[in-house]
Amino acid sequence: MTTMAGLKSHDSILSKLDTFKRKRKARLEVEELNKESRQAIEMAVSALTTDDPKQYQLEEGQERSFIEKSSQNSESVKNLVDKLLTWINNELSEHRILVRDIQEDLYDGQLLQKLVEKLAKIKLDHPELTLSEIGQLQRLRGVLQTVNEVLHVSESWASQRWTAERIHQKDLVAILRLLVVIARQFKPEMRFQAGIFLTVIVARKLNGKLEYRYEREYITEVTETLPG
């Protein structure tokens, strides 16, 4: 014969088992997300590649630029990408979002919008999914306008460092500059190595031949302040 006390004890055991299972499931989900995050960082850092300027079909007088592979694979740039990916994935973890590639995942503005909304505690009126290039650029312009306002920087100052067009073209210099400034604003305890730069090679077709010049694009300066 089963007593009431026995039933209560049985129910209590089942309740504890259910609680244990839920906690274990939640812990496993967190561990899996952390594992995926680490793998994403490793993939993003190892996948840094550049275009071959010899493959460019340039018209006379036309210019195109690409990042010198050695500078993109430098330890300082890899560490910066690593740090930014870790930060972004921590911020967006509650949305079950995992950024794997800092260029491919941010260029259309969707995840950048979610990051800004989370950090600034605001809601931007842009569609969740925009497949057209025009729609993506419109969203990017809106997101960057909000970023500039939140950072209290002028349009002219910001446009020298990032634009919707450059972000959409997966310009690594512009993307890294933008993320570093956002991180400094919302997570001031984050520290970045001074003087991180990427070497950009500009190819120009002149008199039927390709000419090259090298430009050093700094992501972090030795001393960098935001205008009021």
Residue 177 has pLDDT above 70, yes or no: yes
Q: What is the pLDDT of residue 60?
A: 83
Comparison of pLDDT for 57 and 62, the residue scoring more: 62
- Two structure tokens written together for 168: 């959409």
How far CA 114 is from CA of 89, 134, 225, in Å, comes to 11, 19, 26
**Neighbour count for residue 151 (Cβ, 10 Å):** 19
Residue 45 has pLDDT above 80, yes or no: no
Q: What is the pLDDT of residue 26?
A: 60
**130 touches 108 (CB < 8 A):** yes
Q: What is the pLDDT of residue 38?
A: 47
Burial class (CB in 10 A: 0-12, 13-18, 19+), 181: buried
Q: What is the pLDDT of residue 59?
A: 79
Q: What is the pLDDT of residue 209?
A: 85
Which of 63-77, 190-204, 212-226 is predicted with the least confidence, judged by mean pLDDT?
A: 212-226
Q: What is the pLDDT of residue 12?
A: 64
Residue 10 has pLDDT above 80, yes or no: no
pLDDT one-digit tens code per residue, 188-212: 999 999 999 999 998 888 888 888 8
Q: What is the pLDDT of residue 206?
A: 84
pLDDT one-digit tens code per residue, 29-42: 556 655 554 444 44
Q: What is the pLDDT of residue 47?
A: 41
What are the structural domains, with CATH classification, of the chain?
Answer: 4-49+76-190 (1.10.418.10)
Residue 163 — pLDDT band, cuts 50, 70, 90?
very high
DSSP state of 189: T
pLDDT one-digit tens code per residue, 114-161: 999 999 999 988 766 677 889 899 999 999 999 999 999 999 999 999
Give the phi and the psi of residue 42 in degrees, each rounded to 5.
-60, -40
pLDDT one-digit tens code per residue, 77-118: 999 999 999 999 999 998 888 999 999 999 999 999 999 999
Is 0.85 surpassed by the pTM of this model?
A: no
Q: With residue 201 as reference, give the H or E element that holds it.
A: strand 197-206
What average pLDDT does the chain have?
Answer: 81
Distance from C-alpha of 6 to C-alpha of 14, rounded to nearest angstrom: 12
Buried-state track 95-129, b at ≥16 Cβ within 10 A, e below 16: eebbbbbbbebbbbbbbbbbbbbbbbeeeeebeee
